[in-house]
Every structure is written in C-alpha cells, then in structure tokens.
Homo-oligomer: A and B are copies of this chain.
Amino acid sequence: MEEGSEMRGKYVADISSIREAQERIKSFIHKTPVLSSETLNAVAGRRLFFKCEFFQKGGAFKFRGACNAVLSLDNDQAAKGVVTHSRFYLTSVIWSEATMQSRESVASKVLQETGAVLVHPYNDGRIISGQGTISLELLEQAPEIDTLIVPISGGGLISGVALAAKSINPAIRVFAAEPSGANDAAQSKEAGRIITLPETNTIADGLRAFLGDLTWPIVRDLVDDVITVEDKEIIEAMKLCYEILKVAVEPSGAIGLAAVLSDNFKKIPVWKNCNNIGIVLSGGNVDLGKLWDSFKQ
C-alpha cells in the first residue's frame, strides 16, 4: 500500500500535500535543529527531542504554513495580496485586538477593500501542509521517536504534524498539550464535537484559538490524547528551557515540555511506553522582561 494512502482524500491535507509543501518551501525556511539534554532526560525519565521551531524564521513554526500558502497562490491571486489574521513576517501586518472575533472582522474588512486572498491562520489545507513539514524533518533527525507532544490552539500545527507522522509511522502517538485555562480541544475530544469557550485565561496567549471545521476531523481522529497543564507548569517549563536548554521560548512554545513533566501525562495509560518523545518548541517570541516577571511569581 502506498505510504499514507489510507488517509488521502479524507482530510484537507495529506502526506502528499505535505511533501509538496516541503519541496515548495525548503529553500525559504530554516531546517530547525533538534536539541537534547541529558539533564532534562533525567528529569523526565525518558529521552526528549526538542524540535526548535522558535529558531524558524519569524520566530515560530507559523512561517512554514504561511510560506506554503503564499507560494501556492497563482499569479492573479498573488498580485492582489494576502491577508491573514495571524502575525508573521511575510506580508503587511494589520493590527487588531487580540481576540479571534476582532481579528476576523479586521481581515474581512481588508478583503472587501482590496480583493486580497484570505489565508486563515490554521483552518486551511495549505497552512496545515506547511506545518506538517516539521514531522518530515523531525523524524529524519530523530527516527527513534515514538511519541510527539505538540501545542494545540486552532489545530493547524498539530494537524499537519499528526498527518505526516502517522503516515510515516502509524504507531507514533501524538498528544496535544493545552493550557487548562483554554482547554477547548480537551473538551471537544471528550464531547466528540467542536466546543468553544466563552472566555480563555492562560499565560499562553498563542493557545487561545478554537478548532476549525477543517482541523477538527484531524484532531478528532489522529490526536491520541490531550494533556492539559496549569500556567505554573508552563512557567516552570519556560525556566527549564532558559536554564537548561539555553533558549528563549514563549509560554505557548514551552507547553510541550510542561506536558511531559506534568502529573496529567502519567494519567495516560500508555505513558510508560513513551520512551523517545519529540516535543515541538513552537515559538520564541517572548519579551525578556515578561519572562523575568513570570519567573518571580
């Protein structure tokens, strides 16, 4: 059977679209390094492989999907421009309030005025395919990985990562890491449908979005479990990133490490079989003063 063919056509992206994305974006993105630390391995009691997407251009994984989306446009579309309501360096940035509703309304307004193409920051096959290139790199860099832990917000990152990883190795487990103050993905998995929350409350401000209709089926089917963590666990993980790994990682970026060290991880029945864990450190846009303030709490 062709690699991953059982997933083809079922979702908005698949291993083919992810491999195409890799070809398309490879000369524009950084192949990010994988870090490991014997100290953190000892703390976690297993081997951890940190995929350093905070080293990606723009300081986060988002550059991959954005790059794939823009390079997928035809000439007519490209001439009219691209609008999105996430933040990255590819295109002109229009500021709006931080809430999803506000961002979407600003984006619609710009669309109407300019005829530009809207690229949703996660609920889009081109975006998901771009983020999936992380797995292609990571499983080549550390083929022994048996488990992946990935931050979840709108689901674009984890959808791409899970689609690619499970196509390459269907035995790989994929866990989402989510703040308890924005645990819509955990609730959605529990309910079997998309749950949105009236409000969210977490230091991880990158993880406040809700699942979309295109990411949800992938998260529902391919994400094995959701590990929720408290903000204080996220802060502790940021500290470990700084002090042990020597890197600047934002709260949303550090949540995977928080998850693997959390008590909730140990509630997952198969946790003892997770011996080689890939953790996506997704972004590094953290202000030093805020980092220091959070450490003093």
Interface set of A (CB-CB < 8 Å, partner B): 33, 35, 38, 54-55, 57, 59, 242-243, 245-249, 284, 288-289, 291-292, 295
Given contacts A247-B247, A248-B248, 19 further A-B contacts (CB under 8 A): A33-B33, A33-B35, A35-B55, A54-B246, A55-B245, A55-B246, A59-B246, A242-B248, A242-B288, A243-B288, A246-B247, A246-B248, A246-B249, A246-B284, A247-B248, A288-B288, A288-B291, A288-B295, A292-B292
- With A242-B248, A242-B288 known to touch, is A57 a contact of B38 (CB < 8 Å)? yes
Q: Give the residue of B57, B284, B292 whose beta carbon is less than 8 angstroms from that of A289.
A: B292
Measured between alpha carbons, how far is A55 from B55 in the docked complex, in Å?
Answer: 14
A38 CB contacts on chain B under 8 angstroms: 57
CB-based closest 8 A-B pairs: A246-B284, A33-B33, A246-B248, A292-B292, A54-B246, A247-B247, A288-B292, A242-B248
A284, closest chain B residue (CB): B246
Q: Which residues of B contact A33 (CB under 8 A)?
A: 33, 35
**Alpha-carbon distance A292/B55, docked complex (angstroms):** 21
Q: Which residues of B contact A35 (CB under 8 A)?
A: 33, 55
Most buried by B among A35, A246, A288: A246
Question: Considering the chains assembled together, what is the distance between the CA atoms of A57 and B246 in angstroms?
Answer: 11
A44 CB to nearest chain B CB (Å): 17
For A59, the chain B residues whose CB sits under 8 A away are 246
List, sorted by A's number, 18 A–B pairs whose CB atoms are closer than 8 Å.
Answer: A33-B33, A35-B55, A38-B57, A54-B246, A55-B246, A59-B246, A242-B288, A246-B247, A246-B249, A246-B284, A247-B247, A247-B248, A248-B248, A288-B288, A288-B291, A288-B292, A289-B295, A292-B292
For residue A246, which residues in chain B have a CB less than 8 angstroms away from its CB?
54-55, 59, 247-249, 284
How far apart are the CA atoms of A129 and B247 in the complex, in Å? Answer: 28
Determine the chain B residues whose CB is within 8 A of the CB of A55 once the complex forms.
35, 245-246
Instruction: Please name the residue on chain B nearest to A32 by beta carbon.
Output: B33
With the chains together, A245 CA to B248 CA distance in Å?
9
